[in-house]
Structure 1
């Protein structure tokens, strides 16, 4: 028995297959890349090797008068919303294809706690990220330490630095909200803020 398939039938079948293949690819890309687009695009555009993160929400301004770096009870700390936001930041970064080589945090408890709740790996404290807002640390010495580290770090390593608004602003000239991310190229000085809408609180 000989089966004859018309040319029109083959043409229409190929059109349908092409349509469904395109739809499947588009769905895959949307599902896997949409949430990470803002961060990955910024890092790619400026070849960022540093991801600055301002600590998550810690209500108030500055620190109490009885501030002690060694005692979290004397500091302005994260509230529950801040802890939740820290976890969302971590999930957002994990949703990307980015490889994070190292994670650093200011010695302030709110920065260290933000980094811990992000749950992205081992966190190292670094005094070059400390706040000098109320002169609890020397601005010149702090930034000198930070710049020295950035100058010496390999440009092919992507690191996270959880710190304070004053530090991020001093390095990038950008203002950040609590929990906001800034992609930064330590060799060229280029920087880009990541929109807060990229990882809204749920």
Structure 2
């Protein structure tokens, strides 16, 4: 029996660490963190049933992509309303060019929506992961501390940047150091209506 315990311990020590699902929090602490200089909201797109994209995916054609359903659109509107209810005025909303992210960004109704290709999904092409993550870090490191930004992207992008595995529609509040280091200050999740 002791050999089995030792063997199990060795196996567990050699298994690479997997991203941990985030523990969503709601309340004043998250909103207060978002008001602090140097913080940014990074969110996973709202509910878009399925995983990945179809094989005939085309970036400019939403009919070829996985996209928000009615509940996902309602979820995005509720998230935008939460920002307004908590007095957070957003200066810019940057988004992945994938339709589910663009539609989330538009439904938030917080500010004009700008494409930011570094936020595009690399789920099906991990070769661009490091370059895209570095581009997001560089952008965040040089953003003015008083700018209120919302970035809408994908689970893989958020996990690469923060080691958090967010739910659909989850918003992470992150503090960004001058060197691009990202520290998660909290998160909140307003679930899609059923």
TM-score by length of 2: 0.78
Partner of 2:187: 194
Alignment match of 2:31 (pick from 31, 40, 51): 40
Can you list the C-alpha shifts for 1:27-67, whole angstroms capped at 9, x where unaligned? xxxxxxxx8625313335x7552100100000101000111
Secondary structure, aligned partner of 2:139: helix
8 A Cα contact 1:100 1:159, kept in partner: yes
Do structure 1's residue 127 and structure 2's residue 97 form an aligned pair?
no
Which structure's CA Rg is the greater one?
1
State how far apart, in whole Å, the 2-side matches of 1:109 and 1:38 are. Answer: 31
Partner of 2:18: none
State how far apart, in whole Å, the 2-side matches of 1:154 and 1:47 are. Answer: 9
Work out which structure has the larger RCO, using CA pairs closer than 8 Å and 6 or more positions apart in sequence.
2
1:104 Cα deviation from its structure 2 partner: 0.4
8 A Cα contact 2:37 2:145, kept in partner: no
Partner of 2:140: 150
TM-score by length of 1: 0.75
8 A Cα contact 2:46 2:76, kept in partner: yes
State how far apart, in whole Å, the 2-side matches of 1:110 and 1:53 are. Answer: 12
8 A Cα contact 2:176 2:183, kept in partner: yes
Q: What residue ranges of structure 2 are gaps of 5+ in the alignment?
A: 1-25
Partner of 2:160: 170
Greater strand content: 2
Do structure 1's residue 140 and structure 2's residue 130 form an aligned pair?
yes
State how far apart, in whole Å, the 2-side matches of 1:193 and 1:182 are. Answer: 6
- 165 and 193 in structure 1: CA distance in 2 versus 1, 3 angstrom threshold: farther
Q: What residue ranges of structure 1 are gaps of 5+ in the alignment?
A: 1-34
Can you list the C-alpha shifts for 1:135-188, whole angstroms capped at 9, x where unaligned? 187222212221221121112212000000111111111110000000011115
Secondary structure, aligned partner of 2:176: coil
Do structure 1's residue 52 and structure 2's residue 45 form an aligned pair?
no
Count residues in correspondence.
165
Greater helix content: 1
State how far apart, in whole Å, the 2-side matches of 1:201 and 1:146 are. Answer: 27
Measured on the aligned residues, the alpha-carbon RMSD in Å equals 2.0
